[in-house]
Amino acid sequence: MLRLDPLPTNEILGMWKEFQREEFPDKKHVRGFVYVHTPYCSSKCKFCMYESEPLLKKGDLSAEKRDLLNEALEAAEAVEGIEFDGLYFGGGTPTIYEEGDFDDVVSAVRSCFKLSGRAVSTCEMNPNSATPGKIISAVEHGINRISLGIQTLTPKVLEIAGRQEADLKQTAELVVFAKKCGVSVVNIDLLAPLPGETEKSFYETVEKASGLGFDTVTLYCLQNLGLKYSPFEMAMNEEALGGWDRIKEIFTKGLERSGRTISKESSKLTTCLIAGNSENLYNESNRYELHSRNPVAVLGLGRNSCSNLFGKVFYKNSGRDGAALDSVGRRYIGYRKDIFEEALDMILLHLRDGVGLPFQHFESIFGYDAEGFVRANFGMLIDRGFISFSSSSVECGIKFADALKFFEFSKTIKQLIFSSKPRNRLKSGAE
């Protein structure tokens, strides 16, 4: 189940083709995304938990680009009939490509895939490598959401993290330019708590960032993402930022002068808060997520990208390393899964977020009796009071603030279920 094995490219492409042909109770619930990964940044920030490495030789991205475009072309054929709900260029730093290469990547990928009417196409941009030319390319190829990664504006914190400061004037100009070019949503990303950040400096970061004219600001919680500095580093001064609730209070206060508030939509998320005036443009139906409470089919492209095909497979492109010399520069590793495991995951992901799961929603996707399925498979959590039932939903009595802890918990629970007698599965109606 959780062991990562090599998966031949043909097998992966075959699964995407099969996914399109197959029918299950209510396929329309599955949201589809294309995710394009750039595995490089100009330098590696100490707090970064993403798959990226510093680009040692500027401009040396030709092999990366060739491999990515080959992969996109091959995948496009396998997913020809799918309309995706989102296209997301992330990383790493997509804007690390020079203008010509950036345009080639965005245009080639965009022309390979069909997008649905509700789709949002996002490109992450680093304020230090984004340029008007790259914004024009993005807009010309249908990008309607740009996300500028600022993270913090506190010099001391940036120094500890080894990250270059974003130039505020230049960032504000990029926001104005992007809006002028017709980008629907310009977002900026902030991150907390970081070592060296105090309540005062965090408040100042939020306040200064509020003056940049963006549509939304997304605050990611470093602790909730499971990556922590040592307690020593976090307590480097007496006024170190406290827990998520306190951070949320300061964030709200820092936004006051700009008139922005935290959106209702984001109160359902565990790892971030979104504030601004465009919640309808990036919400639960079209927000890119690799692991979601709702079914997703994510087609990842590029070295180190991950893909998550509902009911079939989870895999990662581990790149050229270990690939045969005559290969096309990618090697997939992953594990196969089935609809039964997706049903388990749906329950577990609702537990992660401490959110109730309506019986009717579960049943319309899987065709199983929700209460019967949960009773047959999660008895140990019901006995401990972590799961209960109302008349219409499964109620979840825990919530995970730490992604790594949740991953370990979920792995253990699934191992217990998979090693138990098959009658659990039969009772669920899964076979």
Q: What residues make contact with ligand SF4 under the rule CB under 6 A?
A: 41, 44-45, 48, 50, 52, 91-93, 126, 149, 163
Q: How many CB atoms lie within 10 A of CB 392?
A: 11
Instruction: Tell me how far the alpha carbon of residue 266 is from its chain's centroid.
Output: 14
The token pair at 3 is 């062991």
Task: Report how far residue 239's alpha carbon sits from residue 237's, in angstroms, rounded to the nearest whole number.
Answer: 6
Give 37 or 361: the residue with its C-beta nearer to ligand SF4.
Answer: 37
Find the shortest distance in angstroms from Cβ 162 to ligand SF4.
9
Measured between alpha carbons, how far is 410 from 404 in angstroms, rounded to an integer? 10
Residue (92 or 195) nearer to ligand SF4, CB? 92
Which tokens belong to 283? Answer: 């919400």
In the complex with ligand SF4, the residue whose CB is nearer, 177 or 220, is 220
Least CB distance to ligand SF4 at residue 268 (A) = 25
Q: How far is the CB of 243 from ligand SF4 (least distance, A)?
A: 22
Task: Provide the CB-side half-sphere exposure for 374 (13 A, CA).
Answer: 25
The residue (of 51 and 215) whose beta carbon lies closer to ligand SF4 is: 51
Minimum distance from CB of 339 to ligand SF4 (Å)? Answer: 34
Q: For 104-175, where are the E strands, in sequence order?
A: 114-125, 145-151
Q: How far is the CB of 4 from ligand SF4 (least distance, A)?
A: 23
Instruction: Provide, rounded to whole angstroms, the least separation between the CB of residue 377 and ligand SF4.
Output: 37
Token pair for 195: 């070592």
Buried b (16+ CB within 10 A) or exposed e, 114-142: ebeeebbbbbbbbbbbbbeebbebbbebe
Identify which of residues 130 and 357 has a Cβ nearer to ligand SF4 in the complex. 130
Of 40 and 113, nearer to ligand SF4 (C-beta) is 40
